[in-house]
Structure 1
Amino acid sequence: MSGPGDFDAFWRGRRATAALVDPCPRVGGVVEERDGFRIHEVSYATPGGRCGALLALPSEGVARRGFVVGHGYGGRHEAGADLPLPLPGSAAILPCAPGLPAFGNRPGVPSDPDGHVLHGIASRDTYLIGDCVAGLWGAASALLELAPSLDGDRLGYLGESFGGGIGALALPWDDRFAAARLTVPTFGNHPLRLTLPCTGSGESVRTHVRRHPEAVEVLAYFDAATAAARLRIPVLTACALSDPAVPPPGQFAVYNSLAGPRRLEVLEAGHIPYPGEAAERRRLGRATEEFFGRWLE
């Protein structure tokens, strides 16, 4: 998918603006210690304002590998679901997207997915998803400042659902990342996505576009499959055959568009419980360890 003629220029401009912002990270006390990590609440600066996050540092020794970990549209309430990390001796920052609970709440920004995904959609420059992408870039900057032992161009990214979609949008423009896993990523192939009913935030977008068809022009700049065509680092993508919240054709569109080394793991379902889910998640975990072990060593 090629997207608008100035797609690359738009995102390179957003990335350049974000790079000028000193993250000025602020670290709170330890809120939890588990799985070999000390977990702190942190905040950092981005062009759209300060973002909240969790910071996971090894309880012993220095960090040798770093990860930025995105989240789903439910927001981020705790770190437990994202720990332990795929590789030993790692540190991670787990940002919360602007506007989403519990660390990203902002006055005037809807915290529910249906409202959040439409906020500022009248213009590509005001659409909130752009600030969410910038939040990932800022998280990487904050992590590298807070864990100076990390290699500044060997970060890994993990993102699921909403986090997978904004990860695909963020990664092509940031050469600090060396590998990524995108799980059931959203925002893939908007023209097709707008034809597919779902139970997720995409349904809110479909309803809005029926009333405001001009929004299609804005969405074209926030298509995860279009961005994936610019993504040349190794990417492991986990796509579901059935998913009521994120239509599978959009997920597979992200995988099929990837321009670099890629690996596909197929899940039976996404966003719903199903028999065999635990076993599939364990299989995906093993594949993730193998994948990052190969590309981040």
Structure 2
Amino acid sequence: MVPDPTYGYTLALLSEVGAPPPPEDFAEFWTGRYERARRVDPAPVARPSRHGGSLHDVEFSSLDGVRIGGWLSLPVDGRVERGLVVGHGYGGRAAPDAVVPVERAAVLYFCARGMPARSRLPGIPDTARLHVRHGIAARETYVHGGCAADLWCAVSALCRLVPEAAARVDYLGGSFGGGIGALAVPWDERISSACLVVPSFGNHPLRLTLPCTGSGESVREYARDHPEVREVLRYFDAATAATFLRVPTHVGMALADPAVPPPGQFAVYNALAGPRERFLLTAGHTEYAGMGEEDRALRAAQRDFLNLSF
């Protein structure tokens, strides 16, 4: 366990954490990946889900020829006015969320490549500790680049399956999904706004100095033995990417978190280049008194944010 999940940071100190400067070709690297992903035919397939109702099992193609799985939720009355793509934490996703965060929306819950339960793939570990290091030796092979492409291809699949959803597409993701969202959203002009919760992968140089119980510890250990990986991580820093993120973004950040150190979370929020709104959480990745009430308040804030006209 982490002795102090605040890592000694007060709110004032957290508000001052910045983002590492981008490599000179950072934008070129990401726009190039995005353009490749947009050329992928998602070939989506939707089938009625065993969960019943207006839920469908979905799969679609992503970059590198992989098939990604998930679920599509439709309004009970079939009236769709917008779309929402939802990510997940570093444990994957076993089922769609019980509560849809916006009304009149077609919602696509996707599982990133290698992740349970719908996107396990040969050759990609399905546990956080190993997944986070998969292909990390080079920026072209690092799995997080593929996961960002999965998000972009999820947008393509959603708009193909439900054309009405293209009127406005938003993104929501927490922890792993929050960090991947920060990496992916800046480059996709189809995404109108984003909600990120306790986003991971912010300010890697700082994260590598902070022991934690999450996937960052695996990366920290790897970097200790392979210092050259720091150059690769510069291209996958969620805080650096946030300096290019100009759409309205809502961020839920924890003041204490043993798995995703708060300084990294705040680094993402502090670096955002566009309109932003924050929601402070007592803690992340751990249970605490008042957690249920705080979670309901966060969901209400996200709902209000997503219902704004941007």
Q: TM range, normalised to the smaller chain?
A: over 0.9
- Asked if 1:77 is matched to 2:94, the reply is yes
Which TM-score applies when normalising by structure 1?
0.95
Within the candidate set 41, 52, 56, 1:40 is matched to: 56
Paired residues of 1:62 and 1:149 also in contact (CA < 8 A): no
Over residues 202-249 of structure 1, what are the superposed CA-to-partner deviations in whole Å (9 max), with x where a residue is unaligned?
000000000000000000000000000000000000000000100000
1:24 aligns with 2:43: yes
**Partner Cα separation in structure 2 for residue 90 and residue 147 of structure 1:** 10
Counterpart among 136, 150, 169 of residue 155 in structure 1: 169
User: Whole-Å Cα distance in 1 between the matches of residues 303 and 285 of structure 2?
Assistant: 22
Give the Cα separation in 2 of the matches to 1:47 and 1:62: 31
Equivalent AA in structure 2 for residue 213 of structure 1: P
Partners of 1:149 and 1:100 lie apart in 2 by 29
1:135 to 137, 141, 150: 150
Partners of 1:67 and 1:150 lie apart in 2 by: 8
Structure 2 counterpart SS, 1:71: coil
CA distance in 1, matches of 2:228, 2:100: 42
| Deviation of 1:84 (Å) | 2.1
Match of 1:273, SS?
Answer: coil
CA distance in 2, matches of 1:87, 1:42: 20
Aligned length: 290
Report if aligned partners of 1:198, 1:247 keep a CA contact under 8 Å in 2. yes
| Identity within the alignment, % | 53
Structure 1 spans left out of the alignment, 5+ residues: none
SS at match of 2:289: coil
The answer to whether the aligner puts 1:93 opposite 2:108 as a matched pair is: yes
1:3 aligns to 2:17 (yes or no) = no
Alignment-derived partner of residue 185 in structure 2: 171
Contact 1:15 1:134 in 2 (8 A): yes
SS at the partner of 1:295?
coil
Partner of 2:306: 292
Which consecutive unaligned segments of at least 5 residues does structure 2 have?
1-18
- 1:182 counterpart SS class: strand
1:277, 1:192 → 2: CA distance? Answer: 28
TM-score, structure 2 as length reference: 0.91
Q: Take 2:147 and 2:262, find their aligned partners in 1: how far apart are those partners? A: 23
Q: Is structure 2 residue 68 aligned with structure 1 residue 54?
A: no
Structural mapping, 1:259-270, within 5 Å:
259-270=273-284
SS state at 1:5 partner = coil
Alpha-carbon separation, structure 2, partners of 1:32 and 1:185: 29
| Structure 1 residue matching 2:116: 3-state secondary structure | coil
Q: By how many angstroms is 1:289 displaced?
A: 1.3
Query: Partner of 2:250 in structure 1?
Result: 236
Q: Tell me, in whole angstroms, the C-alpha distance in 1 between the residues paired with 2:165 and 2:119.
A: 26
1:204 lines up with 2:218 in the alignment: yes
Q: Aligned to 1:265, what secondary structure does the other structure show?
A: strand
Higher strand share: 1
The worse-fitting range, judged by mean Cα deviation, of 236-245 and 278-287 is 278-287
> Which of 139, 145, 150 is the matching residue for 2:160?
145
In the alignment, the residues of structure 2 paired with residue 179 and residue 283 of structure 1 have an alpha-carbon distance, to the nearest angstrom, of 19
